[in-house]
Chain A
Amino acid sequence: MSWPLFFAQLLNGFQLGVLLFLLSAGLTLVLGIMNFVNLAHGSLYMMGAYFAAATFGATGSFLAAAVVAIPATLLLGLFLERLVLARLYARDHLYQVLATFGLILIMNEVVRGVWGQAPIFMNVPDALSSTVNLFGLPYPSYRFAIIVVGLLVGAALYLVIHRTRVGMLIRAGASDAPMVAALGVNIKLVNAMVFGVGAGLAGVAGLVAAPILSVQPGMGEPILILTLVVIVTGGVGSIRGAFYGALIVGIVDTIGRAFLPTLLREIFERSVAQAAGPAIASMLIYLLMATVLAVRPQGLFPVKHG
């Protein structure tokens, strides 16, 4: 194993983590503060990707795609929150799961109807289409850009949540929502805002993922599972948990995939290693989650109460 390769893989893991963070930040707040199970979060990510790719297709500009996709996803999130989800806050989790699962199916069919079944095209911006030489290995500059965007969003969220009045309310809501409401805060408004921002972040994730991954119906479901793993690992309702959880999951997943098959080949026969390597590597993050649940059920970085 060479150090440049290890470093490149670490960056790959970091980049996946950052993408997962963009998704899990919004979802963890919705889960933590509103105690609401929103399975349709992955679909918002898909819609963000579609908005971005469609705008890119029409204008050829990545900037225009960003300007359209992020607010559009945010508005879609708010619209769904008002239309469907707000009615279910007081209901049992099962209703929420059913309703949001229905939303997944509806949104998949909508994009299939509008854009067709085949993946649609989106490219990286010209300025980021080159590669950076990383100790002899080429590394796409676009992926560096994703890392930067993710870190900026993380920093901004940290400032908002820990340094502003709104952030204080959100933190209070995460700890004890009924008490916050009893103090006269319009918790409905806070809820809608949190949901909208979460949807907007899903839109950002969709936008940055669109040039890397194929934009197509159902692209939100696999990543939703990873996002839930992140949230459970990091601790429900905690932005800090989502951030570190996402990075841990991203890095464990990537490093496992990259080096476990090679490592196994040192121990076992080639054919055995080839069969077992990818299988074990893809289980790693779930093993991690199971361990965390067994040892620290509240997650690695839970919300601090009191």
Chain B
Amino acid sequence: MIQTRKFMALAGSIACLTATFALAQTPIKIGFMTTLSGQAGTLGQDQYDGFMLAVEQNDGKLGGVPVQILKEDDQFKPDVATQIVQKLIEKENVPIITGIAGSNVMMAVYKPITEKQVFLIGSNAGPSPIAGAQCSPYFFAASWQNDGYAEVMGKYAADKGYKKIVMIAPNYQAGKDALTGFKRFYKGDVADEIYTPLNQPDFSAEISQIAAAKPDAVYAFFPGSLGVNFVRQYQQAGLLKTLPLLTSGVVDSTTLPALKETALGVIGGQFWGPDTDNPVSKSFVDAFEKKYNRIPSNFAAQGYDSALLLDAAIAKVKGNVGDKKAFEAALKAGTTKSVRGTLKFNNNHFPINDWYVFAVANDAKGRVSLKTVAMPLKDHKDAYFAQCTMQ
């Protein structure tokens, strides 16, 4: 009897040993959760394709360690996302989750993930609370704080000397944030602020109102298909020729295929564009176009940058992501291999970005794309980092 027990104990310890041995060999599991269906699906698909491009370029490894990517569709629904996160953490035991397209989803899963001390690498959504008071050592944004693309437009409008602006956005939080971000840098006269219902597809009434107000320029925030509608109708009203249209979230590689030449001349702001001039960005654009046969959007670039960041940080801790302090420090160091040149983080774990202004124009291959026209904000820090108590 005692013999048997001893044997069992021995067998048990051997099993434990092999288990630890096997653990070193098993890949690091990374949960990739974003919106892959519905209206925001194109955006999430680009995030995912960009991320996977980097993984494939590294032969399925990040930082020299094999990775297993668990792809999940949150359907843009916070409740669905919460369940997925629970599954990823409790059942799959992932040490890292990345992706997250929507700010609504981000706000729902941010606490459940970071409180479990799982690292969250956001590759799109960057709502203001998590850049400010709710900042966490376990969260890193490989994207940008939500206000950035509005702030750069505001600065551009101020630089251009526009005196009178009409602003228009859908009547919800992101719309109001965009107009606030714009006004942080634009101090001129706002002739009108128009808010439209989020589900309103036709802007004829608002466009007539804009034309009647006769401003120097128009600032519009309309994500996704709303932007397609607005730009088309603005162009059809003949205003694009006479009244500069500054936008956030309107023109990118997910909407331009539906707009084509009707959008020529529209101005947009981003931290990155297909013609951003650095070696990493150029090789990324070439590889992405070759693999997916379309121009990458900034969302794809963010996905790619998330993978590059993980690549650098995992290499630095030699694959031991279980050492949380060391892994946090490795992530915080950023990376010199990024589509933005260098990815460096502020105290709140949001990047310090250069912000560009783009005009919709034909590229060298004659396709409708984005062309850099200015860089109003250099090494820009978001407006919330001072509220974050992390150093």
Q: Which residues of A contact B (CB under 8 A)?
A: 2, 4-5, 8-9, 12-13, 15-16, 116-121, 123-124, 129-131, 137-140, 142-143, 211-216, 218-219, 222-223, 254-255, 257-258, 261, 274-275, 277-279, 281-282
Cβ contacts under 8 Å, B257 to chain A? 118, 120-121
A254 surroundings in chain B (CB, below 8 A):
204-205
Residues of A within 8 A of B201 (CB): 213-214, 219, 222-223
CB pair B212–A5 under 8 Å, yes or no, is yes
Chain B residues near A279 (CB, 8 Å)? Answer: 171, 197
Q: A5-B208, A12-B204, A254-B204 are known contacts. Are A121 and B45 too (CB-CB below 8 A)?
A: no
Which residues 209-265 in B have Cβ within 8 Å of A in the complex? 209, 211-212, 225, 228-229, 232-233, 236-239, 254-255, 257-260, 262
Complex interface: chain B residues within 8 A of A123 (CB): 260, 262
Q: Is the CB of B238 within 8 A of A130?
A: yes
Interface: B16 (CB within 8 A): no
A140 touching B236, Cβ below 8 Å: yes
A11 to B363, CA, bound (A): 38
Q: Which of chain B's residues has its CB closest to A129's CB?
A: B236
Is B237 touching A139 in the complex (CB atoms < 8 A)?
yes
Does B194 sit at the interface, judged by CB under 8 A? yes
CB-based contact A119/B255 at 8 Å: yes
A45–B242 CA distance with the chains assembled, in angstroms: 34
- For the complex with contacts A5-B209, A216-B39, 4 further pairs of A-B residues with Cβ separation under 8 Å are A212-B236, A214-B201, A257-B205, A279-B197
Q: How large is the interface on B (under 10, 10 to 19, 20 to 34, 35 or more residues)?
A: 35 or more
- A-contacting residues of B (Cβ < 8 Å)? 37-39, 41-42, 45, 171, 193-197, 199-202, 204-206, 208-209, 211-212, 225, 228-229, 232-233, 236-239, 254-255, 257-260, 262
Task: Give the Cβ gap from B256 to chain A, nearest Cβ, in Å.
Answer: 9
Q: How far is the CB of B296 from chain A (nearest CB, A)?
A: 14
Interface centre among A12, A214, A254 (most CB of B within 10 A): A214
Measured in the bound complex, the distance between the Cα atoms of B201 and A282 in whole Å is 12
Is the CB–CB distance between B238 and A138 below 8 Å? yes
Q: Which residues of B contact A219 (CB under 8 A)?
A: 201
Contact A142 B212 (CB under 8 A): no
Instruction: Give 26 A-B contacts (CB < 8 Å), ordered by A residue.
Output: A5-B208, A5-B209, A5-B212, A12-B205, A13-B205, A16-B204, A118-B42, A118-B255, A118-B258, A121-B259, A129-B236, A130-B238, A137-B208, A138-B239, A140-B238, A212-B232, A212-B236, A214-B225, A219-B201, A222-B201, A255-B205, A257-B206, A274-B195, A275-B195, A278-B171, A281-B197
Alpha-carbon separation in the docked complex, A222 to B196 (Å): 15
Q: Are A282 and B228 in contact (CB under 8 A)?
A: no
C-alpha gap A121/B260 in the complex (Å): 7
A19 → chain B, closest Cβ, in Å? 8
CB nearest to B208 among chain A residues: A8
Residues of B within 8 A of A281 (CB): 197
Task: Report whether B255 and A143 are in contact in the complex, using a CB–CB cutoff of 8 Å.
Answer: no
Most A CB atoms within 10 A — which of B41, B195, B208, B211?
Answer: B208
Given contacts A131-B237, A138-B239, are A119 and B225 in contact (CB under 8 A)?
A: yes
